[in-house]
A and B are shown apart, each in its own frame.
Chain A
Amino acid sequence: MNSDRHLKELLPEKPSELKRNLSIFLLISIIYASGSFTNFSLSKLLGNLKEGADLLDRMFFPPDFAYAKRLLLPMLETIQISFVGTVIGSFFAIPIAVFSARNISANKSVGVFFRLFLNLFRTIPALVFAAFFASVFGFGSFSGMMALLVFTIGLVAKLTYEAIENIDPGPLEALTAAGAGQGAIFRYAIVPQVLPQFLSYVLYSFEINIRASAVLGYVGAGGIGEYYDRTLSFLKYDKAGTIVLLTFFVILAIDLISARLRARLI
């Protein structure tokens, strides 16, 4: 009893929970305001559940399996477009990440410039890039590849420069003290520390690019996307369902492979 009272006297004043409660209130207000602004209505959502189920029924029960044969070549094209776009984009992302990272960039204003440039890249949707390149290079897979390439640079460079900023600075210091130059420091202190993360970002952007290339088909950027356009405009939902399933299996396969690779890298 006596010691209990003693403890209470010694305890510092409990920190105020006002800030936390205000934050929760603000968050709920924002969600409610956004909902009413977009005319969200629960009754509408529940009332139309049947229509949604209907559509899913027409897409997947059963999908048009025979159609899958016609999809194999465009699917392969999509994978190729994504692969080339990912590889070349990731390659260009390396120097940009190096110039953007605050801890190793030689020049402050160069870093600011590249980070601004990257933000601009990520602001523009891949679809807009695709439309842009389609008007420059014409419709087709090359324009689609270019759009994914630029998108990949934005994504991989951003994540990689953040990884570089988080490396252990110790080895950099040790190699500087050993008389190593900039190139050797990059090769022996920075690359080994960020390589697993970099490769995992590349694999991740490959996955995203396969999904994105479906959308790019709408602006004539080649690959599987064109078939979404064809089937959906003719209300062939069973055929569209086949495309979704096929894309799903491809993504699943890539995910499995990249999980294996990542486990081996780290």
Chain B
Amino acid sequence: MELLEIKHISKVYPNGVRALEDVSFTVEKGEFVSIIGLSGAGKSTLLRSINKLVEISSGEILFEGKNIALARGKDLRLMRRDMGMVFQSFNLVKRSKVITNVLAGRIAYHSSWRSILGLFPKEDKEIAFKALQRVNILEKSYSRADQLSGGQMQRVAIARSLAQEPKLLLADEPVASLDPLTTIQVMDDLKRINRELGITTLVNLHHVDLALKYSSRIIGLREGRLVFDGPAKDVDDSILELIYGRQLLSNEIFGEEHEQ
């Protein structure tokens, strides 16, 4: 059954840039989908439209049958709660402890005064610790986030989104600031979470071969238009040329030599 239906969405920024043009696709429960394309092709705008960090200009985005483009206030917050998001720059509060950062994923489960006072129930803390354990970083629970390495920070950020107990995970260039070895660990984490918890995952990726290796399905964007949507195994040189408009540069391929 479809978890997410994107119907003819377009986005024009106030400065006139047309970031998305009539994009449509659906995502089934449990899928692991990578979105690829050049910088500026609209990958980030597409992902941010899904949880309404960016407001689309036209079209519909149905999440579990509800149009998030029309959702407001509490409805919107509850829909966002069901979608975790992981960012390129991790977006942790660096001066706060790891566990505090992860508990922030539980905020939308409670009334605002309760979360403002920091009165998280015991079960929430258990959920937070379990999320940290799932990404193998439980021992850092009481460290301050600014004491962690980049890879560790991204795992804490993944744990924060897991603490939301989401149905959909949106990852916007999750490995773009990481070194090759950590990249593999974080991608493995995302894949494992998708498989073990059945959380549907949508990832923006700069490196084509990572996308092909980890995802079952590829969506290709070029200048705001969807130019390819199909199984990863169908992607060949002619399709990559369709998406990228030219031969790939070496820095767009992650490279076999990093994979051990």
* CB-CB nearest in chain B for A182: B112
- Cβ of B113: which chain A residues have Cβ within 8 Å of it? 183
Indicate if the CB atoms of A174 and B116 lie closer than 8 Å. Answer: no
Q: Mark A179-205, 1 if CB is under 8 A from B, else 0.
A: 111111011110011011000000000
Stretch of B100-108, B123-131, B242-250 on the interface side: B100-108
Give the CA-CA distance A179 to B95 in the complex, in Å: 21
Stretch of B79-87, B216-224, B225-233 on the interface side: B79-87
- Cβ of A182: which chain B residues have Cβ within 8 Å of it? 112
Q: Is A95 an interface residue (CB 8 A)?
A: no
* CB-CB nearest in chain A for B77: A179
Indicate if the CB atoms of B87 and A180 lie closer than 8 Å. Answer: no
* CB-CB nearest in chain B for A170: B91
* CB-CB nearest in chain B for A174: B91
- Cβ of B80: which chain A residues have Cβ within 8 Å of it? 176-179
Give the CA-CA distance A181 to B157 in the complex, in Å: 19
Q: Is A35 an interface residue (CB 8 A)?
A: no
Indicate if the CB atoms of B89 and A181 lie closer than 8 Å. Answer: no
Indicate if the CB atoms of B53 and A177 lie closer than 8 Å. Answer: yes
- Cβ of A176: which chain B residues have Cβ within 8 Å of it? 53, 80
* CB-CB nearest in chain A for B53: A177
Q: From residue A103, how far is it (CB to closest CB) to chain B in Å?
A: 15
Partner of B85, one of A174, A180, A189, A196: A174
- Cβ of A184: which chain B residues have Cβ within 8 Å of it? 104, 107, 112, 115-116
- CB neighbors of A among B153-199 (8 A): 157, 160-161, 164, 170
Partner of B95, one of A178, A181, A193: A193
Give the CA-CA distance A181 to B118 in the complex, in Å: 14
- Cβ of A179: which chain B residues have Cβ within 8 Å of it? 76-81, 107-108, 164
Indicate if the CB atoms of B112 and A183 lie closer than 8 Å. Answer: yes
Indicate if the CB atoms of A181 and B112 lie closer than 8 Å. Answer: yes
Q: Is B201 an interface residue (CB 8 A)?
A: no
Chief secondary structure at chain A's binding surface: helix
Indicate if the CB atoms of A193 and B93 lie closer than 8 Å. Answer: yes
Q: From residue B104, how far is it (CB to closest CB) to chain A in Å?
A: 5
Q: Is B94 an interface residue (CB 8 A)?
A: yes
Q: Is A175 an interface residue (CB 8 A)?
A: yes
- Cβ of B105: which chain A residues have Cβ within 8 Å of it? 178
Number of interface residues of B (CB under 8 A): 35
Given contact pairs A179-B77, A179-B78, A181-B112, A173 touches B104 in the complex (Cβ within 8 A): no
Q: Is A171 an interface residue (CB 8 A)?
A: yes
Partner of A180, one of B77, B83, B84, B100: B77
- CB neighbors of B among A85-135 (8 A): none
Give the CA-CA distance A180 to B81 in the complex, in Å: 8
Which of A171, A182, A192 gathers most chain B CB within 10 Å? Answer: A171
Partner of A178, one of B84, B89, B92, B94: B84
Indicate if the CB atoms of B115 and A187 lie closer than 8 Å. Answer: yes
Contact size class for A? 20 to 34
Q: Is A54 an interface residue (CB 8 A)?
A: no
Indicate if the CB atoms of A192 and B93 lie closer than 8 Å. Answer: yes
Q: From residue B100, how far is it (CB to closest CB) to chain A in Å?
A: 8
Indicate if the CB atoms of A180 and B107 lie closer than 8 Å. Answer: yes
Indicate if the CB atoms of B116 and A177 lie closer than 8 Å. Answer: no
* CB-CB nearest in chain A for B89: A170
Q: From residue B131, how far is it (CB to closest CB) to chain A in Å?
A: 13
Indicate if the CB atoms of A188 and B51 lie closer than 8 Å. Answer: no
Give the CA-CA distance A150 to B53 in the complex, in Å: 39
Give the CA-CA distance A187 to B119 in the complex, in Å: 13
Given contact pairs A178-B104, A183-B112, A184-B112, A171 touches B93 in the complex (Cβ within 8 A): yes
Give the CA-CA distance A187 to B118 in the complex, in Å: 9
Indicate if the CB atoms of B115 and A170 lie closer than 8 Å. Answer: no
Indicate if the CB atoms of A192 and B95 lie closer than 8 Å. Answer: yes
Give the CA-CA distance A132 to B254 in the complex, in Å: 70
- Cβ of B149: which chain A residues have Cβ within 8 Å of it? none
Give the CA-CA distance A188 to B145 in the complex, in Å: 14
Q: Is A168 an interface residue (CB 8 A)?
A: yes
- Cβ of A196: which chain B residues have Cβ within 8 Å of it? 95
**A-B pairs with beta carbons under 8 Å apart, 17 shown:** A170-B92, A173-B53, A173-B91, A174-B85, A174-B160, A175-B104, A177-B51, A178-B108, A179-B79, A179-B80, A180-B77, A183-B115, A183-B116, A184-B115, A187-B115, A188-B115, A192-B93
Which A-B residue pairs are the 3 nearest by beta carbons?
A179-B108, A170-B91, A179-B81
Kindly list 12 other residue pairs between chains A and B, CB separation below 8 angstroms, not including A171-B93, A174-B87. A168-B94, A171-B92, A173-B53, A174-B160, A178-B105, A178-B107, A178-B160, A182-B112, A183-B112, A183-B116, A184-B112, A188-B115
